Amino acid sequence: MCGIVGYVGPRPSQEILLSGLARLEYRGYDSAGIAVIDGQGDLGMRKRAGKLSVLRDDLASHPLADGTTGIGHTRWATHGGPTDENAHPHLADDDKLAVIHNGIIENFAELKAELESAGYAFRSQTDTEVAAVLLGREYAASGDLVDAFRATVTRLEGAFTLLAMHRDQPGLVVGARRNSPLVIGLGEGENFLGSDVAAFVEHTRHALAIGQDQIVAITPEGVEVTDFHGAVVEVEPFEVTWDAAAADKGGWRSFMAKEVAEEPEAVANTLLGRIRNGVVEIPELDGLDDLFAGITRMVVIAAGTAAYASDGHVGKYAIEQWTRVPVEVELAHEFRYRDPVLTPETLVISISQSGETMDTLMAVKYAREHGAKTLSICNTQGATIPRESDAIVYTHAGPEVAVASTKAFVAQITALYLLGLHIARIRGALSPSEISQSVRELEAIPAKIRKVLDTETEHIAQLSHWMADTRSVLFLGRHVGYPIALEGALKLKEITYIHAEGFAAGELKHGPIALIEPGQPVFVIVPSPRESALLHAKVVSNIEEIRARGARVIAIAEEGDVAVLPKADEVLRIPLAGPLFEPLLAVVPLHLFAMGLAEAKGLDVDQPRNLAKSVTVE
Ligand code: M6R
């Protein structure tokens, strides 16, 4: 939550900051601001409530003097509503110092009381301004921004990425991070800071990831990273593997439309380089067989789409079946606070697109501190969660910008499946031919998703149009169809703001069937009759039960399943696949439907209200 960008170099910084913020806007979009030290050595600042376009328009009509040192921020409000005053940057030291912040400063109230009793005044309701005023006081004492910054951050509790610059030290931006993301972009005679690499990828793909409780000072000539005590630390360089075009809309009407269309590539790229002669070999896990050999239990933790809405559950069914190691799935925020049983034989697998979700990060740290082994599945290089884990398997979905997670979701299931097959091979739980059969299924998925997109997009757009005034939609599924029902419901709530719920179809008669009234739309994920005749029959019976009560049934069924035809009002077709692989196909119509309905209602599909892409506060 909140996007942060910093620049020092020879170029005018305003446009660099604004285009960096445009790429980070998915992290928060209730207000935005920039501060720049201009050619005269004055610090100029502009900030506005609303989306970045409001700030842009303001700057276009009332230009700010430009300069070559600057910081910018796009906000998701925590302390203080989304107003001009609460937007960042916050100024201090007679408006000579500017600060931006992502995270929550938990001890801000006591710090504020201390500063107020020393005579300092505040203009906003934010925790950030407290850090700015504290930094201003320290600067007045030391006259050195890095020293003052160190003295300030060591007094802060909570999670933060902070950037600051001072009029009297142009050509310098300092940053610090604790439990919140910050990466460095290395240019030629210029350097960048960003919440993630998207902030600067159009200028450089050379990056450095800084660690916990570290401070970075960037100047045009160089970068110095120190810990909170001042000791210089070496940081890991990495190359960004995608270019700026990958994070652009590229002619699509929305990022979500683009990202749903990229689902086939997300799966294909996640498989790339990890299958050799029908055998799964994940290069990142080379030499880590010991991590898997002695485990007696796995716990998958995540939040939102990555967990609640199913990856964890889909993965549970597959990984448990393949490895014969018990797998539990838990929401990261519940896991962390319930004193779970963890041993060195427990492997905790976290899943996160951003790699920054605070709930998941805290759960990973907790698991490590309590002796478990940790592995993360993540889509973002340089992110915090992989850095805190013993092992990492990257999904290669490319940058996901729309708040609603789509292509990352199919990439996460793919990575979990690869991991399951990898562990099954190491533990000898599956024969080589069983593994290669699953590998063949996985390799066929991208073309099958493409087929769903080719054949059902138009149909679903029409369906969404007809259903534009629908006030409630239910989703039913069994076995791996159940988490897909949850995902369908979450996506719909998230971007259309209507009531949506997903149920295990078997649960229907235990309560939810009372919701069915004439005309109630219900999506039903129908298992394959070839692969699971018994489950298929059960789901068809569930359809009969809801139809008898007037439900309008939209079935997602495999090609050739004629049994559903007379029972459903609409049938959305998916190609044939093994039972564990159906979720990768059945979810695609649900992503298309949520997007179609949001569009039919005239809503912003990429930036739904109240949300941000990356939830970096607990
Ligand atoms: O970055 P992460 O995968 O850790 O994010 C987890 C959730 O916040 C995320 O999946 C959220 O639920 C999506 N907006 C759902 O579409």
- φ, ψ for residue 570 (rounded to 5)? -140, 145
Q: How confident is the model at residue 311 (pLDDT cuts 50, 70, 90)?
A: low
Known catalytic membership, residue 613: yes
**Number of the ligand 1 atom closest to the C-alpha atom of 303:** 6
Mean pLDDT of 101-105: 91
What is the residue type of 536?
Answer: H
Mean pLDDT of 286-315: 82
Q: How confident is the model at residue 308 (pLDDT cuts 50, 70, 90)?
A: low
Class of domain 255-600: alpha beta
CA distance 5 to 23: 10
Residue 306 CB–ligand 1 contact under 6 Å: yes
Q: What DSSP assignment string belongs to 100-133?
A: EEEEEETTHHHHHHHHHHTT---SSS-SHHHHHH
Pair of tokens at residue 541: 């019976």
> 602 in the Ramachandran plot: left (φ > 0), alpha (ψ -120 to 50) or beta?
left
Interval 394-443: pLDDT, tens: 999 988 999 999 999 999 999 999 999 999 999 999 999 999 999 999 99
CB-based contact 132:47 (threshold 8 Å): no
CB-based contact 242:269 (threshold 8 Å): no
Residue 379 CB–ligand 1 contact under 6 Å: no
In which residue are the tokens 């913020």 written?
21
Residue 353 CB–ligand 1 contact under 6 Å: yes
CA of 234 to the centre of ligand 1 (A): 32
CB-based contact 211:190 (threshold 8 Å): no
Which pLDDT does position 271 carry in this prediction?
A: 95
CA distance 354 to 410: 15
> Domain ranges in the chain?
3-246, 255-600
User: What's the burial of 303, exposed, middle or buried (CB within 10 Å: 0-12/13-18/19+)?
Assistant: buried
Residue 436 CB–ligand 1 contact under 6 Å: no
**Number of the ligand 1 atom closest to the C-alpha atom of 308:** 12
CA atoms within 13 A on the CB side of 457: 9
For residue 575, cis peptide bond before it (omega within 30 degrees of 0): no
Residue 296 Cα distances to 258, 331, 340, 515, angstroms: 41, 20, 15, 41
Residue 359 CB–ligand 1 contact under 6 Å: no
CA of 520 to the centre of ligand 1 (A): 28
CB-based contact 8:218 (threshold 8 Å): yes
Pair of tokens at residue 314: 């889909």
CA of 499 to the centre of ligand 1 (A): 19
CA of 353 to the centre of ligand 1 (A): 7
Q: Spell out the residues 6+ positions from residue 276 whose beta carbon is closer than 8 angstroms to its own.
A: none
CA of 613 to the centre of ligand 1 (A): 7
CA of 431 to the centre of ligand 1 (A): 35
Q: Which one of 2, 112, 373, 378 is the catalytic residue?
A: 2
Which pLDDT does position 409 carry in this prediction?
A: 95
Evaluate if pTM is beyond 0.85. Answer: no
Q: How confident is the model at residue 140 (pLDDT cuts 50, 70, 90)?
A: very high
Q: Spell out the residues 6+ positions from residue 205 whose beta carbon is closer than 8 angstroms to its own.
A: 197, 239, 240, 243
Which pLDDT does position 309 carry in this prediction?
A: 45
Residue 6 CB–ligand 1 contact under 6 Å: no
CA distance 413 to 323: 16
Mutate to test the pocket of ligand 1, among 26, 305, 379, 484 (most ligand atoms within 8 A of CB): 305
> Of all helices (H) and strands (E), which one includes residue 554?
strand 552-558
**Number of the ligand 1 atom closest to the C-alpha atom of 403:** 14
- What kind of fold does domain 3-246 have according to CATH? Glutamine Phosphoribosylpyrophosphate, subunit 1, domain 1 (3.60.20)
Q: What DSSP assignment string belongs to 135-193?
A: HHHHHHHHS-HHHHHHHHHTT--EEEEEEEEETTSTT-EEEEEESS--EEEE-SS-EEE
Residue nearest (by alpha carbon) to ligand 1 atom 16: 404
Would the pLDDT of 161 be above 70?
yes
Residue 600 Cα distances to 274, 464, 474, angstroms: 40, 7, 19
Mean pLDDT of 463-483: 94
Which pLDDT does position 307 carry in this prediction?
A: 75
Which pLDDT does position 457 carry in this prediction?
A: 97
Residue 403 CB–ligand 1 contact under 6 Å: yes
Pair of tokens at residue 152: 């300030």
CA of 369 to the centre of ligand 1 (A): 25
Known catalytic membership, residue 2: yes
CB-based contact 509:515 (threshold 8 Å): no
Q: Which residues of 13-38 are buried (b: 16+ CB within 10 A; e: fewer)?
A: bbebbbbbbbbbbbbbbbbbbbbbbb
Residue nearest (by alpha carbon) to ligand 1 atom 10: 305
Pair of tokens at residue 551: 């439900």
Would the pLDDT of 360 be above 90?
yes
> 170 in the Ramachandran plot: left (φ > 0), alpha (ψ -120 to 50) or beta?
beta
